[in-house]
Amino acid sequence: MTGVFFIRNTLSTLLFCVIWSICALASVTWTRHGGSVSMIWPANAILVMAILRMPAFDHRIYPPLLFVLSSLVNLLDGRGWTTSVGFSVANTVEVMMAAVLVHRISPVSGFFEQVDWAFRFAIAIFVSVACSSVIAGGALFLGEGRDWLGGSAIWMMAHLPGLLITVPMLLALMPDGEGREIRRNAPRRLTVLGLMVLVACMSVVVFGQSRFPLQFLLLPPLLLATFHLYAKGAAMSVAIITMIGSFFMFTGAGAVTMLHGPAALKVYVFQLDLATIFFCALPLGAVLTQRDQKASLAQQRLQDFHHLADRVGDVLFRVDDAGCWSYLNPAYEQMSGISVDKRLGQPMLDAVVIEDRAALAQAQAELQSGSRDDLRQVVSIYRRDGTVRHVEILAHRLGEGEGFGGLIRDVTDQLTLDAHNRQIAAAYEQAANTDELTGLPNRRAFFQVLDGQMAAASSVVAAAMLDLDHFKSINDKYGHPIGDIVLRRVATVVRATLRDTDMVARIGGEEFAVLITSESRDRAISLIRRVVRAVSAESIDLPTGVRLQVTISAGIACREAGEDRNALMSRADQALYVAKRTGRNRLTIADASTAATQAATP
């Protein structure tokens, strides 16, 4: 299989090199003037197009093959060996540089969809031709004694228009297997024929006379063809203009004959005109392609939305500024038993039971007036069979004068099932007692448990306050998302270090509280000391690849006889303050007799 692909690639490369040779021979035979270089040189453009677009093109064999064929063409044209070799090097460098630069800074993939593609393509071609013209000018200087700068200029005037015009033209006319040019309405063949006939007729008018410079008349039919056919229309139009203009120019007619100068100058001006009008049309084709792509994408997304909306179990709706239904998905008929067609255009309140209409009407008025942006309300509606269903309306104001929209869900079963109601109540209770970031109990839950333990007073009750050291600098340096990661990690370490009977809660930004019920005061202190050490030993790997070490300071107080909750927490907080003040990353134990604290390093 590999051998088959190799043979196919080689044959494709050979075929295009043969085409290059035929075009090169035609150019040197019919368009040379005064023994200099050819006035028209489309051969390199054909090869550049093949390299850019043909997947079967062999990039390994074409440079030496091009060099050999170029040398033969120039030798057959009567050039000396020095000039022939120099021209061959120039052609090879020009083709290779053009292909590489266009691929790098102006990729062919989706090129007619990008407005600035033509500009980047022109830069790549200009750089390539500038380099090859320097080499060709040197060949003329060394081989035939001509002026180096003059030879380079003549080479550039012949090769630059050839590449600028022919490469985009061939790329546009080639079939695009990926179908990148998305059009909602492809033009009919009769339309294409009519546009091309219009371009041809105007070309005859412009180039068939020699009295007036009417080249500007080519733009309207060219732009019209581009508007309907996009880049391919521009390419076909320029091809027709090129053939008709060349015919009249070589028969001695056309506006270019008004120029005073050699035939080469007239050919260069003609090519410059073609390049100018072509590059005026290409951005228009790109804009139109982008327009159709966006329109097609919007249409596809709208279809996807309707496809999804038709299958959603909840009712999706929209109400206009007059309070009438303007959109309902098929789920409405299943919920109410009334067809969507009969409801559209009817007031929204008509479907609601009389008892709920006043409240919903007030909420709807506030939503439409802009005094509120969202609506969430449970109402009852009548079904077609006379039964009543309870529904929840979730709506959002769409804009001034545009009404509101949202969804309606049937909550009858939710309101009638006690078990479900209890689950909701339990979920709210859990949310009210849990810190959302760390998953630990929050301040409210901690003090509820602390009050219960102090009331029981069956064992030693100790309260510890923990605070992350330099947490503000972590937030300032790495950002709050990283700070959240650090808080969650510290919470995990503290929870894993304590016993199942102990409680840790997040009671502030970077503050944690620990409740320990133990058989002895020393056991409680040992547990908190172990927590301080565990945190300082933990490494936190951040998503950015940075490994972070954090420490905590801690203060602990054991409940004394007759001491209430506030006094206990105050002593623990004072002990934490001393730990912070005396160096951080340490535990300080509160002294009950004096309410002072003494430091104890972890």
* Residue 315: other Cβ atoms inside 10 A: 23
Residue 431: helix, strand or coil by DSSP?
helix
Strand partners, 316: 407
d(CA 168, CA 106): 12
d(CA 223, CA 398): 40
Residue 442: helix, strand or coil by DSSP?
coil
Q: Tokens 């999706």, residue?
A: 316
d(CA 480, CA 5): 57
Q: Where are the alpha helices (DSSP H) in 39-116?
A: 43-53, 62-76, 81-105
d(CA 1, CA 28): 41
d(CA 230, CA 233): 5
Residue type at position 449: V
Contacts of 581 (CB under 8 A, 6+ apart): none
Contacts of 347 (CB under 8 A, 6+ apart): 323, 324
Q: Tokens 């021209």, residue?
A: 87
* Token duo for residue 20: 């290059």
- Pick from 529, 378, 539, 522: which is nearest to 466 by CA? 529
Taking CA atoms, 535 is separated from 275, 491, 586, in Å, by: 72, 9, 11
Antiparallel, parallel or unpaired: β 325-328 and 374-382: unpaired
Q: Which element (helix H / strand E) includes 152?
A: helix 148-173
Q: Which of 436, 510, 519, 538 is catalytic?
A: 510
Quick check: is 181 catalytic?
no
Q: Which element (helix H / strand E) includes 468?
A: strand 460-468
DSSP 589: E
Contacts of 458 (CB under 8 A, 6+ apart): 517
Tell me the DSSP string of 351-389: GB-HHHHHHHHHHHHHHHHTS-SEEEEEEEEE-TTS-EE
Antiparallel, parallel or unpaired: β 552-558 and 587-590: parallel
Cβ pair 530, 538 in contact under 8 A: no
Hey, which residues are catalytic here? 510
